[in-house]
Structure 1
Amino acid sequence: MILPFFEKLPQLKGEVFIEKSARVIGDVNLGDGASIWFNVVVRGDVNYIRIGDRTNIQDGSVVHVTRDTHPTILGDDVTVGHNVTLHGCIIGNRVLVGMGAVVLDGVEIGDDCIIGAGSVVAPGTKVPAGHLILGNPGRVKRPLKSSEISHLKVSADNYIHYMRQYLSMTEEGCGKIG
């Protein structure tokens, strides 16, 4: 469901999927091929949210902002796993955020990174491109292998396929915006 926050209404570019149990609120821009899955909340009420092309936000995740200081910006081809919290952070292109991870205010994640499942990335953390982040607090563990980097785009492409399957269903089966 798309909801305004005062005068701000989410903006959709191209083909977008928002499952009907999800909420996309306020100053939010969704890129072409973006998909918002079951029970996700994307709340651009007190600052803005930008979600890139072909980025998927999976079931139960929350994307929010901090008033005046920290918007949330997700690049292209980002995969946000189930039950993730993204709050006032910047995520580069082709990043995989593992299930249950928490990424807090002022965090900046470079392109081609993996944040491991259950990791908590502390406020203000800066991660250069091409690294694996694990733990609580989340720390850079090592550079990614080329095979891991190439899989990041595959993960996003899988969700384009799933999105198209859902968009082909009747609106009774899912909320669709195409």
Structure 2
Amino acid sequence: MTSLSEKEKMLQGMEYFPSDKALFADRESAKALCHEFNLFDITDRKGSRALIKRLVGTYAGAWIEPPFYCDYGYNIKLGKNFYANHGLVILDGAQVSFGDDVMIAPGVLISTATHPLDPIKRTKGLETANPITVGNKVWIGMGAKILDGVTIGDNAVIAAGAVVNKDVAANTVVAGVPASVIKTIDSTHKKSD
């Protein structure tokens, strides 16, 4: 029986050592591309988009305002018409999937990574990564934090500063720490709130 690589463990949601040489090299490669993107001439949209395409796993037409940071990039799936404002950080040890027409405000953190509660495992450097799924037409407000394992349903709104540590139903607005539902969205409503 062959043992799994640390990358295979990471991608399967098992405990893994992020200090592994191959994972470290993957992160360094992503950091170099992020650095290049963050310093790129912002007026060269075509060139900027080409860098985003090189960095992320799936690109269906997106715009990300610099600065942008991620761990690996290859676990990020961007839907059509994706937009992220300045300062987006995605810690993508597991897959992070965005549907179409997603809008992200400045200063948002999305993290698939978590650490063991057991202090012995934690001090050894182990971590796990759990996927995050963001549906279609989701708006994530300024400074929000989306934690590992969360699914956000279509049309949901995450209020500024919210910490999302559990699934968010479609057509709801969540706010607070931890985030909870404060409103249901009536999709037939014609006027903007």
TM range (shorter): 0.5 to 0.7
Shift in Å at residue 127 of structure 1?
A: 1.6
Distance 1:146 1:77, change over 3 A: same
Equivalent residues of 2:103, 2:140 under 8 A apart: yes
Larger Rg: 2
The one-letter code matched in structure 2 to 1:37 is E
TM-score between the two structures when normalised by the length of structure 1: 0.64
Kindly report which structure 2 residues correspond to 1:3-152, keeping only aligned pairs within 5 A, or say none.
5=26, 18=48, 26-32=55-61, 34-44=62-72, 48-66=75-93, 70-88=94-112, 89-122=132-165, 125-146=166-187
In 2, Cα distance between equivalents of 1:37 and 1:72: 18
Shift in Å at residue 18 of structure 1?
A: 3.3
Question: Structure 2 unaligned runs (5+)?
Answer: 1-24, 34-44, 113-131
In 2, Cα distance between equivalents of 1:95 and 1:109: 8
Distance 1:114 1:147, change over 3 A: farther
In 2, Cα distance between equivalents of 1:17 and 1:149: 38
Higher relative contact order (CA closer than 8 Å, sequence separation 6+): 1
More strand by share: 1
Equivalent residues of 1:130, 1:149 under 8 A apart: no
Distance 1:42 1:23, change over 3 A: farther
CA shift digits 1:131-153 (9 cap, x unpaired): 001000011222113377986xx
Equivalent residues of 2:171, 2:187 under 8 A apart: no
TM-score between the two structures when normalised by the length of structure 2: 0.59
Shift in Å at residue 16 of structure 1?
A: 6.6
Equivalent residues of 1:115, 1:133 under 8 A apart: yes
- Count, aligned residues: 135
Equivalent residues of 2:109, 2:144 under 8 A apart: yes
Q: Which runs of 4+ in 1 moved over 6 A?
A: 22-25, 147-151
CA shift digits 1:95-127 (9 cap, x unpaired): 0000000001001000000000000011xx112
CA RMSD of aligned residues (A): 3.4
The one-letter code matched in structure 2 to 1:73 is S
The one-letter code matched in structure 2 to 1:18 is S
